[in-house]
Structure 1
Amino acid sequence: MVTEHDVRRSALALPATTEKPSYGTPGFRVRDKLFARLRDPETLVVFVADVSEKQALIESAPDRYFTTPHYDGYASVLVHLSEIDEDELADVLLESWRVRAPARLVAEFDAEP
């Protein structure tokens, strides 16, 4: 199971990312725009491109990805930390970062060797 420490390390490795509490839990922001937060010690909330991507993730791996009525209609998905490894965590955080980061920052990141 990945831990809060793993989430923090992976999130803060992304450009222009800072940590700031969100709803009383650790939140991670790119240029002050929330892209991920720990809902509780076992659950991560991340943003996705749209609701159809959210549904595709949930359908493809319901043991890893899920939602609750609170998140209905929002382009965000919950992740069971016990069901992913560190590589998948890094991928999930990167994709969420890409969705929320300014286009110019994403282009600069993609241009790096």
Structure 2
Amino acid sequence: MPHVTVQPGTKQRPIYQVGGKSFVFFRNPRPDAFDPDTGERYDDVIVIWVADQGEKLAMVQDDSSPFFTTPHFDGHPSVLLRASRIGEITYDELAEVIQDAWLSRASARRREKWLAENLPD
């Protein structure tokens, strides 16, 4: 995706931004995302922006989906994905999710330019 910068987050976990706005970042282990059997905090959570709450709900309501959320992210336009479950989606599905995340955070000018250059007529 164009105009992406990568910032070092805490513990050098990358934060991907467009125009200074994050659209994907790798989260540090937090108490709200944990293994329900062991209580161990997940150390591989990726936060991915979505366009709106409708898109978020569509992604997290399917129990077979690797995407999830926690109460900490209630009202926030993002979904969570464990890196250990990334293989449950195809490359094309992952690419679409990342492109949509970028589109949700890019400026209108950048978004329109990218869409004009990348969507078939």
The answer to whether 1:32 aligns with 2:20 is yes
Q: Which of 89, 104, 109 in structure 1 is aligned with 2:114?
A: 109
For the 8 Å contact 2:7–2:16, the answer to whether it is kept is yes
For normalisation by structure 1, the TM-score amounts to 0.77
Q: Which runs of 5+ in 2 are unaligned?
A: 29-42
Q: Percent identity?
A: 39
Q: How many residue pairs are counted as aligned between the two chains?
A: 100
Higher deviation after alignment, 89-98 or 76-85 = 76-85
Aligned match of 1:3: none
For normalisation by structure 2, the TM-score amounts to 0.72
Higher helix proportion (structure 1 or 2): 1
For the 8 Å contact 1:35–1:96, the answer to whether it is kept is yes
Larger radius of gyration: 2
CA distance in 2, matches of 1:61, 1:92: 18
Helix, strand or coil at the partner of 1:105: helix
Aligned match of 1:92: 97
Helix, strand or coil at the partner of 2:8: coil
| Per-residue deviation, 1:95 | 0.3
For 1:3-49, what per-residue CA distance to the aligned partner results, in whole angstroms no more than 9, with x for missing partners? xxxxxxxxxxx010010023442110001110111125632211111
> Structure 2 counterpart of 1:33, which letter?
K
Aligned match of 1:53: 55
Runs ≥4 residues deviating over 4 A: none
Q: Which runs of 5+ in 1 are unaligned?
A: 1-13
* 1:65-84 mapped onto 2 (5 Å cutoff): 65-81=67-83, 82=85, 83-84=88-89
